[in-house]
Chain A
Amino acid sequence: MLKMTDVSKIYRTDTVETHALREFSLTVDEGEFVSVTGPSGSGKTTFLNIAGLLEEMTSGTYELDGRDISKLNDRERSRVRNEKIGFIFQSFNLIPELNIFDNVDVPLRYRGLNAAERKRRIEESLDMVGLASRLKHQPAQLSGGQQQRVAIARALAGEPRFLLADEPTGNLDTHMADSVLDLLSEINSNGVTIIMVTHELTLADRAKRNIFVRDGQVTDAAPEFLRAANG
């Protein structure tokens, strides 16, 4: 379970203070598929970064699987990220000089698994996303949709409890976006909790629960302008 209570995040420069999240509270139960929508600058990505332990919050409490995250040091936060959380980014974020096998291998290396176990997980996760035959390909040799599938395989190889996706279809055409969302639904049906940030309500509707964020806070329903923007 993921539980945030009164979380705030303030970015400070010498002259400006920006409140990205204000008393943000949210609970996501195990196995949920939650979409997070909101206008640009609403705090969606900040929420996802804090949820994924990529950023530290300014105040509030955050529990992941019943553990108070705010008290963890860098090594412990890295371990939680590595073992419990999988990330899918809009721009795929594959490492260009590594082949597909080695890209999926990255989080497993930090887990300290032996070579045989890593190989098994890599092959299984690439098989699940339909790219088992592309192990030795370089990222540049794949289409955008295939690259995103590799990124999903990388996230799945660690067998995470939570999958955090930030605009996972933002760089894909409609057909590829649909196939990626189908894959996410399949992963969710296997018990993985998914939190997906998107600005497209049509995609958000594929999730089981929709959360709307505005001005750094969770709101009850999608504002009209957002619906209008999505047609």
Chain B
Amino acid sequence: MFRYYLKLGALSIRANPALSALMVAAIAIGIGACMTIFTIQHMMGSNPIPHKSEQLRHVQMDSWSDANPYNGGANPPIQLTYTDARNLLAAEQAVRQIATFKSGRIVEPEDPDELPYTISGRATSKDFFAMFDVPFKYGSAWDAAADLSEEFVAVISEPLNERMFGGEDSTGKRVTMNGDTFRIVGVLDTWSPVVKFYDLNNNAHEPVEDIFFPFSTAMANEYGNDGNTNCWKPPEGGDRAAFLNSECIWIQFWVEIPNQAAETEYMNYLDAYVEQQKELGRFPRPLDNRLPDVEEWMILNEVVDDDVSVLLGLAVLFLIVCLLNTIGLLLAKVMRRTKDISLRRALGASKASLFGQYIIEAGMIGVAGGLLGIGTTWLGLLGIRNLFNRFDFVEKLTVMDWQMTALAIALAVVSALAAALYPTWRACQVTPASQLRIQ
């Protein structure tokens, strides 16, 4: 009967083209509005490294004030002090570990006619690239020796390589920034995680940095931090050494934990480390070490903006309004077809048969609405992209992946079926004899 109902649905749609088109349009517009916002929310919160996000853990330790706990005591600070980052890095207790912070640089071009320009930079350890599966176009990451000996080596991004060297293999070439000349050891391939998960302090959706260099080199040469710095008490002195020895947090610290046993082992190490620090007069708060994985880290940092959730709520309301219109249109259609319903009942159709027939017809309208809804969603995303084209990250958020495409169709079908329930029920209530004598 399913194929028969499909045939009847197609005939009915063809027999009422205007009404059917209105229903498809109402669903498509509602789906378009809903899916546009939902796609943005989905992309904002999507897992940027799903295949190993559970193995990547951000280290949190509660080094904050006992009198004024960080975030009211709800969770430990989201960055580490330099003292702790240095100690954890040196301990090498995880399979891989990195200490990292953002540090912008000014490039001094070799061509004297070209003006210096600012680029974004990141101080980190060699493990950064292997931990986060960063793709390389040319060369590779620097080695452990470079980290140890504070070498001036760097990995540059594809756009910077394009800008400086026309996209050619630039490994072995030099780039001078703020007076320091770095040797390029690697050039990244296209790497554009939707969420810049490894540093959520500022804009979670901004592009990855233009250049990466050793953490040790940045520390030895006193590179500044472009990210957030928070202190619960001022440094004991005004110089850099005092700042580095202070309780100010400004460094992100990630470890790679391959399994549960390794997690337990690393957590034991952290606990022991904090107990040791307590004996030195630090860590006044109760023991509270955490190792959130990438997704937990994104939730903790509220990567998805609350405004987007509000917008999504409004879009859902709009979809409901569209569905109410669809219900009205379906009712009108059913009322126009009472004679057909009555006749089919007389010829042996049960209420269940009619229900099946009308629900399948509604499902067909839903599929059509969903397909058109993909188009309206695409238009909506295009509109947002054009409206906010001054922000680089918007392009990443306005991409409709296969999940969103499938969801658009599924949502349209479910919406159409939900909208069809009442009109279909009304159709089933038409008594067989009611319309058959109409001349």
Contact = CB atoms under 8 A, between A and B. Distances in A.
A93 B344 CA distance: 10
Interface of A: 45, 49, 52-55, 74-75, 78-79, 81-83, 87, 89-91, 93, 95, 97-98, 106-107, 109-112, 154, 158, 166, 171
Interface residues of B, number: 26
Given A89-B437, A93-B343, A79 B351 contact: no
B4 interface: yes
Contact of A106 (B12, B344, B438): B344
B115 interface: no
Nearest to B5: A109
B203 interface: no
Which 4 A-B pairs give the minimum distances between C-beta atoms? A82-B348, A54-B433, A78-B350, A110-B348
A154 B347 contact: yes
Contacts of A154: 347
Contacts of B4: 109
Contacts of A82: 347-348
A144 B352 CA distance: 33
Contact of A74 (B1, B351, B433): B351
Given A91-B439, A166-B437, A109 B432 contact: no
A52 B431 CA distance: 12
B340 interface: yes
Contacts of A93: 339, 343, 436
Chain A CB within 10 A, most for which of B4, B15, B347, B433: B347
B345 interface: yes
B5 to A, nearest CB: 10
Nearest to A170: B439
Contact of B431 (A54, A79, A91, A95): A54
Contact of A49 (B15, B339, B433): B433
24 contacts: A53-B432, A54-B346, A54-B431, A54-B433, A54-B436, A55-B431, A55-B432, A75-B350, A75-B351, A78-B349, A78-B350, A78-B351, A79-B348, A82-B347, A87-B346, A87-B347, A90-B439, A91-B437, A91-B438, A95-B340, A106-B344, A158-B348, A166-B437, A171-B439
Interface in B1-48: 1, 4, 11-12, 14-15
Nearest to B16: A97
B437 A81 contact: no
Contacts of B351: 74-75, 78
Contacts of B15: 97
Nearest to A112: B1
Nearest to A45: B437
Chain B CB within 10 A, most for which of A53, A78, A87, A106: A78
A90 B432 CA distance: 15
B348 A83 contact: yes
B353 A110 contact: yes
Given A52-B346, A87-B346, A97-B11, A78 B353 contact: yes
A110 B346 contact: no
Contacts of B349: 78, 110
B347 A106 contact: yes
A78 B348 contact: yes
Given A54-B432, A107-B348, 19 more contacts: A45-B437, A49-B432, A74-B350, A79-B348, A79-B350, A81-B348, A81-B432, A82-B347, A82-B348, A83-B348, A87-B346, A90-B437, A93-B436, A95-B343, A97-B15, A110-B347, A110-B348, A112-B1, A166-B437
Nearest to A93: B343
A158 B349 CA distance: 13
B410 to A, nearest CB: 29
Contacts of A75: 350-352
Interface string B410-439: 000000000000000000000111001111
Contacts of A83: 348
Interface string B129-150: 0000000000000000000000
Nearest to A164: B346
Contacts of B11: 97-98
Nearest to A80: B348
Nearest to B11: A97
A72 B106 CA distance: 88
A9 to B, nearest CB: 11
A107 B347 contact: yes
A95 B436 CA distance: 12
A191 B101 CA distance: 95
Interface in B336-370: 339-340, 343-353
B258 to A, nearest CB: 59
B18 to A, nearest CB: 15
A113 to B, nearest CB: 12
B339 to A, nearest CB: 7
Contacts of B346: 52, 54, 81, 87
A79 B350 CA distance: 8
Contacts of A54: 345-346, 431-433, 436
